[in-house]
Structure 1
Amino acid sequence: MLICSRITMAHTNNGNQSETEGDSIKTPDTLKFSYNQLFIPATLMLYGTVETAVSIKRRMLNYAIGHEVIVHKPERFQIDNITQYIPAASVYALNLAGIKGKNNLRDRSIILGLSSLFAAISINSIKYTVRKERPDKSASNSFPSGHTAIAFMGAEFLWQEYKNVSVWYGIAGYTIAAGTGVFRVYNNKHWVGDVAFGAGLGILCTKLAYWIYPSVDKAFSKNHKNRNKIAFYPYYNGQKGGFSLSIKL
């Protein structure tokens, strides 16, 4: 799982600049900070930490389930390499289909970009600090599951953007995210604790992005004209995904 960023800069004639999106100056409806919203991600991360810390006890799910996967050697399905991106991509697909979400293209793209940045930093920092061996012994970067974190990051993003339209969008997103985590264990790439922690971390990254976005938007957009100079766009080229920052000078 790779998350990258790229920056594009362009010169424009501010005098001839025009609006291309009707809701481009819409103020994003962001989350109000509430400690209650930390309960689920914190619980998942705590459980994942406990599983990893005391996994020497064979009765823990890490080894109970991992042992079954290793012994029975089921046929592997690499669909998790694709499903990790589906929840976040669904937000843009729904918008293209004419189903408007909470925020406009610019605002939601910046929020997703912030979420991706938080996830990339936290996932890689933890992976190469803990250095837990994967179940298949292919590497020592098992904890936490990056695929699962990205999937749940996208699921929370989908939920926040479309929960006021229909709760089923969020349910579908979280179902796909959960399936991604299950396949990471099934494919013998991660322990249960890796997946649990990754799920909580992904949710937390998106919540954090919604909470701090008003401050970020205010810092970069002192007036309507400056708002149109900065934009974030997610991308995926078949091998790696991330976000692109475009700055118009």
Structure 2
Amino acid sequence: MGTRYLLTLLLAGLTFLPARAQLSAGAASDSSRQLRPAVPSSRLRSVRPVVLRAGIPLALIGVSYFGREQKLIHLARLEVREETLENFPAFNTNLDDYTRHLPGVAAYALHAAGVKPARGVVPFSLIYLAAHHLNMGVTSNLKRLCREARPDNPTDLSSFPSAHTSEAFLTATLLHEQFGKASPWISVGGFAVATATGTMRVLHNRHWITDVVAGAGIGFLSAEAVWRAYPYLAQLLPQRAARKLLLVPTYGAGGAVGLVLAVQP
């Protein structure tokens, strides 16, 4: 009973991580005004959100990485696996292959519906492409470095971290940044889908709980890093070149839909 709901509690908590960080940042800002610190308040306001938004995911990644070799955490994740196999023995779905992309699809649907975004569709697409490659680079290299066996196949040494979960939280974070100000429920929905993706990876016995928690942190940080860096990187792109960028929809066999970033002559 001690860890029966550990999976639910950990993953559900990830859904509200960005909102919690924003709330804490606001509270910290109010406290700074009351205490009148020696450090300029403008500098504190710029540093604290970064620490809050990056610190929690980094802590989750660190605990998940180093905890793999710690007896207490290893026993906890074994018990989580036993509980899930006992309560969901027939769980079998490939829905998580699609839900990891769903927040990104929702972002383009909201663009098409005319919901006011934080940035244009072309900048958003550039950010998504860069964040996706950063996320996959970090995830794939960690898989090769850690060589963690999957719970359902000891010969498959690509368990840590979960790439499905990292991609799901990447797209959910970008959806949150792009449309979160239009409605907080958009953010909640995106992170709920990402959390469901991670949950399915554990229920499907493809990942340990630590793989999923680390993947969530990596996806969140990859999206945040590129989103925050984009305004500075965009200044390096000549204005004439930027005006030539064109986003073109593509349609493939079987109803496949995609986007191509083209350069106009």
Structure 2 CA distance for partners of 1:68 and 1:95, relative to 1, 3 Å: same
Work out whether residues 113 and 232 of structure 1, in 8 Å CA contact, stay in contact via their aligned partners in 2. no
Aligned counterpart, 2:171: 154
- Provide, for residues 136-162 of structure 1, a one-character-per-residue CA deviation record: whole Å limited to 9, x for no partner: 116210000000000000111011111
Return the structure number with greater helix share. 2
What's the TM-score, normalizing by structure 1? Answer: 0.77
Work out whether residues 109 and 233 of structure 1, in 8 Å CA contact, stay in contact via their aligned partners in 2. no
1:229 maps onto 2:244 in alignment: yes
1:128 maps onto 2:133 in alignment: no
Structure 2 CA distance for partners of 1:134 and 1:232, relative to 1, 3 Å: farther
SS of corresponding position for 1:246: strand
Structure 2 CA distance for partners of 1:219 and 1:243, relative to 1, 3 Å: farther
Q: What does 1:70-81 align with in structure 2 at a 5 Å threshold?
A: 70=85, 73-81=89-97
Aligned counterpart, 2:7: none
**Unpaired runs of 5+ in structure 2?**
1-45
* Shift in Å, 1:245: 4.5
Corresponding residue to 1:91 among 97, 107, 132: 107
Aligned counterpart, 1:64: 79
Corresponding residue to 2:234 among 217, 231, 237: 217
Structure 2 CA distance for partners of 1:53 and 1:46, relative to 1, 3 Å: same
Corresponding residue to 2:221 among 193, 198, 204: 204
1:189 maps onto 2:203 in alignment: no
Structure 2 CA distance for partners of 1:131 and 1:100, relative to 1, 3 Å: same
Kindly provide the amino acid, as one letter, of the partner of residue 241 in structure 2.
Answer: N
Kindly provide the amino acid, as one letter, of the partner of residue 242 in structure 2.
Answer: R
Structure 2 CA distance for partners of 1:59 and 1:241, relative to 1, 3 Å: farther
Distance 1:153 1:112 in 2: 8
What's the TM-score, normalizing by structure 2? Answer: 0.72
Aligned counterpart, 2:193: 176
**Unpaired runs of 5+ in structure 1?**
1-31
Q: Whose relative contact order is higher, 1 or 2, with alpha carbons under 8 Å and at least 6 apart? A: 1
* Shift in Å, 1:79: 1.0
Distance 2:248 2:141 in 1: 24
Structure 2 CA distance for partners of 1:104 and 1:125, relative to 1, 3 Å: same
Kindly provide the amino acid, as one letter, of the partner of residue 220 in structure 2.
Answer: I
What RMSD in Å do the two structures reach over aligned CA positions?
2.7
Structure 2 CA distance for partners of 1:55 and 1:229, relative to 1, 3 Å: farther
Structure 2 CA distance for partners of 1:129 and 1:39, relative to 1, 3 Å: same
Work out whether residues 116 and 243 of structure 1, in 8 Å CA contact, stay in contact via their aligned partners in 2. no
Aligned counterpart, 1:38: 54
Distance 2:136 2:251 in 1: 15
* Shift in Å, 1:217: 1.1
Kindly provide the amino acid, as one letter, of the partner of residue 95 in structure 1.
Answer: H
Q: 4+ residue stretches of structure 1 with deviation over 6 A?
A: 232-238, 240-243
